[in-house]
Structure 1
Amino acid sequence: MYLLKDKILKEGRVSGKDILKVDNFLNHQLDVEFLNDIGKEFYKRLRDNKINKILTIEASGIAIASITAQYFKVPVVFAKKTQSKNLDKETYESLVYSFTKDKTYKIRISKKYVNSNDRVMIVTVK
């Protein structure tokens, strides 16, 4: 994805030793036209994989996942970072480390939204 590489080289900034700031087009402000191009490229490369769900975490990945889902015509499922009263009792859970917050989260996905028959594309933004 040369489009993404070029955008990062042109507009990204490094903070410390392990943070790439892309807040001007993804984390704080969205460049929707650019994200649309990313979604099209994912679809072009993965359309033959019979993807029926796109999975991401409750964070910056939602924007890319949502736009990409329009091309695949599938739902987006996102892992929640906090326990809430409206989250189902039966969940898949995992731990994930956030470099930007220097914190480990227990993420949860309701089992009713992902099952063994699904072909899932995972969108992560690190």
Structure 2
Amino acid sequence: MELLKQRIRKDGKIKEGNILKVDSFLNHQLDINLFEAIGMEFKRRFEGEEITKILTIEASGIAIACIVARYFNVPVVFAKKTQTKNIAGDVYTSKVESFTHGKVYDIIVSKEFLKSEDKILIIDDFLANGKALLGLGQLVKDAGATLVGAGIVIEKGFQVGGEIIRESGIRLESLAIIDEMSVEDGIKFRD
């Protein structure tokens, strides 16, 4: 998606440790016009698929998932990273390691919101090591639902996540795949 790549080149900031900061438009301050284009692109890529729910993980994936859900006219369910008093009753849970935060989280979704008849599209902002996506996929599997695929805004192609996800058989659609990035040389995208 060329519009997204241009925005990453213009406003993305590369930090030590293979961190790409896109908080000026993707995951802190949100460029809704860009999100609309992202939503349209995911709708195009998953056209013809029956999708009943969008699943994401808090926090950065929620806004993107909401825009994408408008194009599919389905609800968004997001996995929480902490147990709260608002989640009562039975839950699905999975462990997820965050590349950015260097933490392991127990992600939680109430069984009320994931059913065996659901056809799920996972949406998230980044794919690095694949742990979040695999954890979300485990929740879908535990619910007996169907995982239609995963839409990722930015994939770090130089990390193992994309390869792991593709080898696991999950349909993966990434809008921008970064093959190389460094402070000195900038960002190189996969064609």
The answer to whether the superposition gives a TM-score over 0.5 is yes
Amino acid at match of 1:94: S
Kept in 1, the 8 Å contact 2:93–2:109? The answer is yes
1:104 Cα deviation (Å)?
1.0
Q: Which has the bigger relative contact order, CA under 8 A and spacing at least 6?
A: 1
- Post-superposition Cα deviations, 1:41-89, rounded to whole Å, max 9, x if no partner, equal 1111112111110000111111110011111100000001111111032
Q: Structure 1: how far apart are the matches of 2:12 and 2:89?
A: 40
1:83 paired with 2:83, answer yes
TM-score normalized by the length of structure 2: 0.63
Aligned ranges for residues 34-45 of structure 1 at < 5 Å?
Answer: 34-45=34-45
Kept in 1, the 8 Å contact 2:64–2:124? The answer is no
Q: Which residue of 1 aligns with 2:181?
A: none
Q: Structure 1: how far apart are the matches of 2:120 and 2:3?
A: 24
Q: Structure 1: how far apart are the matches of 2:48 and 2:58?
A: 27
Amino acid at match of 2:96: V
Aligned ranges for residues 19-58 of structure 1 at < 5 Å?
Answer: 19-58=19-58
Q: Which residue of 2 aligns with 1:65?
A: 65
Amino acid at match of 2:77: V
Kept in 1, the 8 Å contact 2:55–2:122? The answer is yes
Q: Which residue of 1 aligns with 2:10?
A: 10
Where do 5+ consecutive residues of structure 2 fail to align? 127-191
Q: Percent identity?
A: 54
Kept in 1, the 8 Å contact 2:92–2:109? The answer is yes
1:98 Cα deviation (Å)?
1.8
Q: Structure 2: how far apart are the matches of 1:55 and 1:29?
A: 22
Looking at secondary structure, tell me which structure has more strand per residue: 2
| Aligned pairs, number | 126
Looking at secondary structure, tell me which structure has more helix per residue: 1
TM-score normalized by the length of structure 1: 0.93
SS at match of 1:36: helix
Q: Structure 1: how far apart are the matches of 2:111 and 2:69?
A: 20
1:2 Cα deviation (Å)?
2.5
Give the aligned CA root-mean-square deviation in angstroms.
1.2
1:11 Cα deviation (Å)?
1.4
Q: Structure 1: how far apart are the matches of 2:2 and 2:53?
A: 25
